[in-house]
Structure 1
């Protein structure tokens, strides 16, 4: 094992919802480590800007306008990525979204939108990409960006959390089904990763909200997209060649704390204390 094993110079990656936030952070960092990246998103302006940023730093990137709510567009994007770069080694299923609301007040249309966006898009991209990888016979890695909500209860986000739990279970099953082809599959369960979309919610609570988050997150802060992307880079590199089927919380220890909070005055850990 040498430092070169973390490099991704020969690899091609496709990131869904890759133009902004977590997806953009993953795309940038995969490119920094040498991967050629395809960015699938509906946001053409941000996607093309990200391509220019990657290319200005010496990388190679391609933007493919894709609405993941339409399975035929996902399948076409996978095919175009492989055709353009000549191969496909990495798929990052990052597309997803949620709206808060009581389950008893949600419509069937709302359920289906959550399921299509968060879960069906992942199934479609995984099947299409895995077929390309199997045919090429060179292995590959699939990373599914789930959520900490897939590992715990989430009142007000029940359908979303169920989709994310399904992603985690699906990732384990695919790790076994695809292992004979040298394809490794993982799920990530991020929490409190700072993005432009999350920032207004983080700032809304003021100092009291910040203090509550500091108690909730053992590391005492929100995470960055670079920190999440670092886990992705490791898992898709040769450094992790004997690792498959993981679910990795990238959450500053939030899942591990499980009701334990740290006193802001004494620094001591207490169970279920305010």
Structure 2
């Protein structure tokens, strides 16, 4: 084992929802470690801007306008990425989204929209990418960006949470089915990650809201896209070649805390704090 084992020189990564937020953070960092990056997203302006940024930094990237709600577009994008770069080694299933609404107020149309965007897109990209990886005969790694909501209750986000729980279960099954092809499959379960899109919500919470949030997260802060990308880089590198089927929270300890919070006055941990 040497420091070079963390490098991704020459490996090709395909990222859904890669134009902004978490996806863009992963794309930048994969490129920084030597990967060639294909970004599949509906956001043309953001995708092309990111490709230009990566190229200015000495990397190589390709933008593929793709609506992940359409399987045929995913298939075409994966095929084009593999043709353009001559191989495919990494898939990051990052595309997804949610809108808060009580379950009793949701419609079947809303259910299906959540399922198509968050779960069906993952199934489609995984099948297309895994077939390409098998065809190239080099193996590969698939990273599914799930959510902490797939590991716990999520009132107001029930259908989204069900999709992410499904993604986590799918990860385990794929780890077994694809192991014979030397394809490793993992899920990450981030919680609060600061992105440009989330920043206004964090700011709107005010001082009291930020204090409550920081008590809820044992490490006392939100995470960054770089910190999430660092876990991706480890899992897709040669340092993790005997690791598969993992679901890893990237959440500052929020899942581990399970309701325990630290008193802002005494610093003691407790399940329920009386007003201080």
Deviation at 1:205, TM superposition (A): 1.5
SS in structure 1 of the partner of residue 153 of structure 2: coil
1:260–1:273: 8 Å Cα contact kept in structure 2?
no
- Are residues 1:154 and 2:154 paired? yes
Q: Tell me the matched-pair count.
A: 274
**Separation in 2 of the partners of 1:115 and 1:225?**
25
**Separation in 2 of the partners of 1:126 and 1:20?**
21
Partner of 1:119: 119
Partner of 1:181: 181
- Are residues 1:220 and 2:208 paired? no
**Runs (4+) of structure 1 moved beyond 2 Å?**
none
Tell me the C-alpha RMSD between the 2 structures. Answer: 0.6
Deviation at 1:200, TM superposition (A): 1.4
Partner of 2:102: 102
Partner deviation per Cα, 1:46-100 (whole Å, 9 max, x = no partner)? 1001001100010000000000011110000000000000000000000000010
Deviation at 1:210, TM superposition (A): 0.8
* TM-score normalised over the length of structure 1: 0.99
Partner deviation per Cα, 1:180-232 (whole Å, 9 max, x = no partner)? 00000000000100011111111112110111011100000000000000000
Partner of 1:137: 137
Partner of 2:172: 172
**Separation in 2 of the partners of 1:42 and 1:84?**
19
1:188–1:247: 8 Å Cα contact kept in structure 2?
yes
**Separation in 1 of the partners of 2:159 and 2:64?**
29
SS in structure 2 of the partner of residue 97 of structure 1: coil
Partner of 1:51: 51
Partner of 1:270: 270
SS in structure 1 of the partner of residue 142 of structure 2: strand
Partner of 1:28: 28
**Separation in 1 of the partners of 2:10 and 2:269?**
46
1:7–1:237: 8 Å Cα contact kept in structure 2?
yes
1:44–1:65: 8 Å Cα contact kept in structure 2?
yes
**Separation in 1 of the partners of 2:51 and 2:272?**
46
**Separation in 1 of the partners of 2:135 and 2:70?**
24
Deviation at 1:273, TM superposition (A): 2.5
- Are residues 1:89 and 2:89 paired? yes
1:15–1:92: 8 Å Cα contact kept in structure 2?
yes
1:75–1:128: 8 Å Cα contact kept in structure 2?
yes
SS in structure 2 of the partner of residue 15 of structure 1: strand
Question: Structure 1: where are the runs of 5+ without partners?
Answer: none
Partner of 1:209: 209
- Are residues 1:7 and 2:13 paired? no
1:172–1:185: 8 Å Cα contact kept in structure 2?
yes
Deviation at 1:271, TM superposition (A): 1.1
